[in-house]
Amino acid sequence: MRKRSPYAWRRSRAMARRTSASSSNERITGFAMCLLAYRCAVGGRRPVAAAAAGVSYTSAVREAPMSDREDEGGGAGLDSRLVESEERYRAVIENASDMIQSCRTDGTFEFTNRAWREKLGYSEDELAHMNIWDIVHPDSRSHCEVVFGEAMRGTNIERVQAVFLTKDGRPLPVEGNATARYVDGEVIATHSFFSDISERLRADELEERNEQLEREQMARYLEKMAALGKLSAGLAHELNNPAAAVQRASAQLEESLSRRDGVTRQLNAHLASPHWEMLQSLLDSPRDGAPDERPPLEVSAREEAIEDWLGDHGVADAWELAAGLAQVGVEDSVLDRVAEGLPEAALGDALTWLSESYAVRDLLRTTGNGAHRISELVSAVKAYTFMDRAAEQVVDVHEGLENTLIILGHELKNMTVRRDFDRSLPPVRAVGSGLNQVWTNILDNAIDATQAQGAIGLRTAREGEMLVVEISDDGPGIPEEHITRIFEPFFSTKSQGAGTGLGLDMAWRIITEEHRGTIEVDSEPGRTTFRVALPLDS
C-alpha cells in the first residue's frame, strides 16, 4: 500500500475551504458535507477525521490554516475533482426518493431535499420561515417531541413513525430514522430519512379489514350452523312426538283389531242383521269428546260407574271391560240401548266389540293426526329454508312467521303467542330464507328473555310504502346502556357460551343490506319490541 503523505489531510481541508465559497454549498446538509469531506481523501487514503467524528464539512474547512491551501503541484486537478464530487453527492441527496431533512436544535430546517418538498408541497423560501413543528400533525406532536429530544441528546433513533401535514392540510404518514450531527462534540442538528408509508398503511388496513371480514364471515357461518343445530334438535323433538304416537297407535291398532275380530266371530252366532245395524249406528253416534281431551280423573270416575253397571247386568270380567269403555267415552245411554236391543248372552261380547271398534277408530285418528303433524313440520321446514325456490322471490310474510313458529314450537309450548296480523297486506319481494332467519333470531331472543315462560306478540301493518312487522315480548327489557350496541357484531347480554353475539347483527345486515329496510328496537322494563320495516313492491 502506498504511504500516505502527512500533508494529505491539510490539503483536503484547504481544497474544501476553497470550494465552500458559493452560497448553494452552504445550504448542503451535514449528510452531503460529511460525504464530501470523506470523498476529499482522494486516492484511497485514511478517512477524514472530521467526517468520522461527525463534524460538518463547513466547520472543518474553517479550521484549516492558510498555509494548508498550498500543495506541491496538482492543486487545480484536486480542486476540480472536489467540485465534481460535491455536485455528485449533492445530486444524489437532492434526487433521492426518500424524504431527507435536517433540523437545527431550535427546530428550524437546515436542509430538505426535493422529495421532501414535493411530498409536503413547500418551497425552500417557505421553509426558511418554518420549523419542524409547523408540519407535524397534532396527534404526533408529543411523540415527535420525545424523539427529537432523544436525537438531540445523541441517541440514534433507528425507527420512528409520525404523521406530517402537507401544505394543503392532508395528513402524510411517514416512517424513518433520526441521528445527530456534531460540531466540536456538541449536537447542532438532526438528520432524518423518511419514507411515505401511505400506501403501505392502506394495504395493511385493507388486509386487516379483509381478515376481520373473514373472521366475521366465519363467525356468522358458525352462528348459522349453531342456530341450525338448535333448530334441528328442536325439530327432531317435534318430529319424534308424532312419530312415537303413530308407532304406539299402530301397535295398539293391531291388538284392537285382533280382539275385535275374535268377538265378531262369536257374535255372529247370536246376532242377526238388525242387531248389527244397531251396533253400527251406536258406533257412528257422536261421543263426549275425543279420548285425549278427557281429564284422567273424569275417565277414572267413569270407569268405576261403568264397572258397577256391568256388574249389575251380570257381565263377566267387568273391571277389564269397564276400563276400555271408559277410555273410549261410552255413555250410559249407549249401554242401556245395547242391553235393551241384544240378547243377554251376547251383551258382554257386544260391548267388547263396541269398545274395540271405538278404540280402532281412535287409534286410526291418532295415526292420521301424527302423520299430518309430521307432514306439517316437513312442509314448514321446506318453506322455512326455501330449499326449492330461487334466492329472491315473492314472499308472504305471514307464512314465514307461521312457519318459524312451527319450527320453534318445542320452545314455545309453555308460552302464549298472540297474533295481530293484517292479512290484507301484499307479499314482498325478498330473500325468504333470510327473512325467516331474522324472525328466528328475534324470536329466539324473546324466548331467552322470558325464559320460555312469558308471552310473545306478533303484529303486521302497512305504513305508507312499508310493510311493518313487530315482535314483542314481556321479558325484563334491555338495559338502556345496551340499546345502542344491540346490533353490534359479537355484542351479547347472554352469559358466556350462551350466544355468539351475532344473531341480531345478522338480522340487521339481512334487513338493511339485502332488503333496503330498517330494523329498530324499543325496550322498557316488562316489554321489548323489535320493529322491522320492508319496502313493498309497487
Closest CA to 106 of 47, 148, 52, 48: 148
Cα(413)–Cα(176) distance, integer angstroms = 67
Cα(465)–Cα(123) distance, integer angstroms = 59
458 and 345 belong to one structural domain: no
Query: 268-305 pLDDT, tens per residue?
Result: 877 888 878 888 877 777 665 455 566 778 888 878 88
Query: 312-352 pLDDT, tens per residue?
Result: 888 887 777 887 778 777 777 778 888 887 787 788 888 88
43 and 110 belong to one structural domain: no
3-class DSSP state for residue 358? helix
Query: 92-136 pLDDT, tens per residue?
Result: 888 888 999 999 999 999 999 999 999 999 999 999 999 999 999
Cα(34)–Cα(500) distance, integer angstroms = 62
- Whether residue 173 lies inside any domain: the answer is yes
370 and 397 belong to one structural domain: no
Query: 461-507 pLDDT, tens per residue?
Result: 999 999 999 999 999 998 888 888 888 876 666 655 455 567 788 88
Distance, CA of 489 to chain centre: 5
How confident is the model at residue 491, as a pLDDT? 67
Alpha helices in 268-346 (DSSP H): 273-284, 296-312, 318-328, 332-341
3-class DSSP state for residue 444? helix
Cα(499)–Cα(227) distance, integer angstroms = 10
The CATH number given to whatever domain includes residue 140 is 3.30.450.20
Query: 372-406 pLDDT, tens per residue?
Result: 888 877 777 776 665 545 567 889 999 999 988 98
454 and 470 belong to one structural domain: yes
496 and 405 belong to one structural domain: yes
Range of the domain at 503: 389-535
393 and 507 belong to one structural domain: yes
359 and 408 belong to one structural domain: no
- Whether residue 201 lies inside any domain: the answer is no
Total domains present in the chain: 4
DSSP code of 425?
P
135 and 66 belong to one structural domain: no
Cα(20)–Cα(328) distance, integer angstroms = 122
Residue 16 · residue 36 · CB < 8 Å:
yes
- Whether residue 215 lies inside any domain: the answer is no
Cα(397)–Cα(287) distance, integer angstroms = 40
Instruction: Give the residues across from 461 on adjacent strands.
Output: 468
Neighbours of 66 (CB within 10 A): 8
338 and 363 belong to one structural domain: yes
Q: Single out the residue in 347, 376, 405 at which a domain terminates.
A: 376
Distance, CA of 535 to chain centre: 25
- Whether residue 437 lies inside any domain: the answer is yes
How confident is the model at residue 325, as a pLDDT? 79
- Whether residue 371 lies inside any domain: the answer is yes
User: What is the SS3 assignment for 200-252?
Assistant: HHHHHHHHHHHHHHHHHHHHHHHHHHHHHHHHHHHHHHHHHHHHHHHHHHHHH
Residue 149 · residue 62 · CB < 8 Å:
no
514 and 398 belong to one structural domain: yes
Residue 6 pLDDT level (bands cut at 50, 70, 90): very low
Q: What is the mean pLDDT of residues 205-221?
A: 82
103 and 90 belong to one structural domain: no
Cell numbers 415527535 correspond to what residue?
144
Q: Single out the residue in 55, 71, 94 at which a domain terminates.
A: 94
Q: Lowest mean pLDDT of 143-157, 244-258, 276-290, name the range.
A: 276-290
- Whether residue 214 lies inside any domain: the answer is no
* All three cell numbers of 266: 262369536
Query: 9-20 pLDDT, tens per residue?
Result: 333 433 333 333
Cell numbers 460538518 correspond to what residue?
56
Q: Single out the residue in 196, 217, 252 at which a domain terminates.
A: 196
